[in-house]
Chains A and B, each alone.
Chain A
Amino acid sequence: MVGEFEYLILSAAAHLGEEAYGAAMRERIETTAGRSCSLGALYTTLDRLEAKGLVETWMSSPTQQRGGRAKRMVKVTRNGARAAREFYEAVIRISRGTAWGEGQLNRFRRTPYEG
């Protein structure tokens, strides 16, 4: 099963589709998941995911916006989508019956110990 950060990368890449590359994925992870993401962590995790066959990466043609530099484009493979789904379902299953589980998130947020 994939790890938490691997799952975030797979989800960001899947969401961005054909526009998935380093800077865009980092932006997506930081704005949506609310956690900081260094390029070091991003690219080393991408290498690991590629070695496991969960993503494919390739170099795009250079763009003016990036000072004539190429992007490392990312695509989630079928195995990658399956691994992400397994992680997601595991999180959903394990969260059932908890205060923060499905449908109870808002109530949980109102509890005093959440601040």
Chain B
Amino acid sequence: MKAEARISGVGWRCIEAAAAFLTPLEREVVLGDLAETDRGAWRGLGDVVSLMALRQLALWKNWRPWAASAGLALPASLFLMGCSLAASGTVSHLLHEPTNGSLLWRSASRLFLLVSWAWMAGFAVGAVSRGTLWASMLGCCAPCFYCLSKWPGHGLSELQLFLFLMPGLWGAWRGRKHLRLGLGWALFLATMAMFTPLMWARGGWIYGCWLLWPGWYLAATAKRGPA
């Protein structure tokens, strides 16, 4: 009788759910080892969790998780909230003056810059450290939750503040999957990223300039030559 059958259905499902965080090959090996031996659900779960923890610890010995979460996701989240506010502010002015051409141009360019910067930053986060995306997500969400708790009902809707989240998540998903951009796209995004800090008033652009590194990182690691 297999251990898989001896461990209760719920216990085995918990083990399988925890093992979902392992790589497919390792998941197969570990679940196979647990299925072969009779150690009970708790010990099996402990085995899977200890392996996951040790794998995560090994990842954090590298510079990549630190750069992705503390070096990019956290500061970029603050920067992009400011960009979201600037872009949504211009759009709301445009709604009051729909015939104003220059306002239309400013709204479109700000939205475009916001989306491209957020996508680029998300891509860099996913590409720099895909194994610790959960920590980068945490780093990105922490300032968002802080702002929501600090300034509830200040006339700022969540949509105004978090316009960057969707393109950022989309970029992270693409970065995790593809790791590298084509050189043309990477250069385009890195160049666009240089204009994004201009959305900020009162020196915020200096902060944005410090956050230009992901664009040039993507350009430096881009795929060269014919696709």
**Residues of chain A at the chain B interface (Cβ within 8 Å):** 21-23, 26-27, 38-41, 43-44, 59, 62-63, 65-67, 69-72
Distance in angstroms between the alpha carbons of A66 and B54 in the assembled complex: 24
Cβ contacts A to B, 5 pairs, < 8 Å? A22-B30, A40-B54, A67-B31, A69-B28, A70-B29
Asked if B58 and A39 make an inter-chain contact with CB atoms under 8 angstroms apart, the answer reads: no
Interface residues of B in 162-203 (CB under 8 A from A): none
**Chain B interface mostly:** helix
Told that A44-B51, A44-B54 touch, could you supply 13 new A-B pairs with CB distance under 8 A?
A22-B30, A23-B37, A38-B51, A39-B33, A39-B34, A43-B29, A44-B55, A66-B2, A67-B2, A67-B4, A70-B32, A71-B33, A72-B29
Distance in angstroms between the alpha carbons of A82 and B53 in the assembled complex: 31
Query: Using Cβ atoms and an 8 Å threshold, which residues of chain B touch A70?
Result: 28-29, 32
Chain B interfacial residues counted at CB < 8 A: 25
Asked if B36 and A23 make an inter-chain contact with CB atoms under 8 angstroms apart, the answer reads: yes
Tell me, rounded to whole Å, the shortest Cβ–Cβ distance linking B1 to chain A: 11
Asked if B211 is at the interface (CB within 8 A of a chain A CB), the reply is no
The 8 A-B pairs with the shortest beta carbon distances in the complex, nearest first, are A69-B32, A40-B50, A40-B51, A66-B32, A23-B33, A39-B47, A72-B29, A22-B33
**Residues of chain B at the chain A interface (Cβ within 8 Å):** 2, 4, 25-26, 28-37, 46-55, 58
Asked if A59 and B25 make an inter-chain contact with CB atoms under 8 angstroms apart, the answer reads: yes
Closest to B2 in A: A67
Asked if B35 and A43 make an inter-chain contact with CB atoms under 8 angstroms apart, the answer reads: no
Q: A44-B55, A65-B2 are in contact. Are A39 and B30 (CB under 8 A)?
A: yes
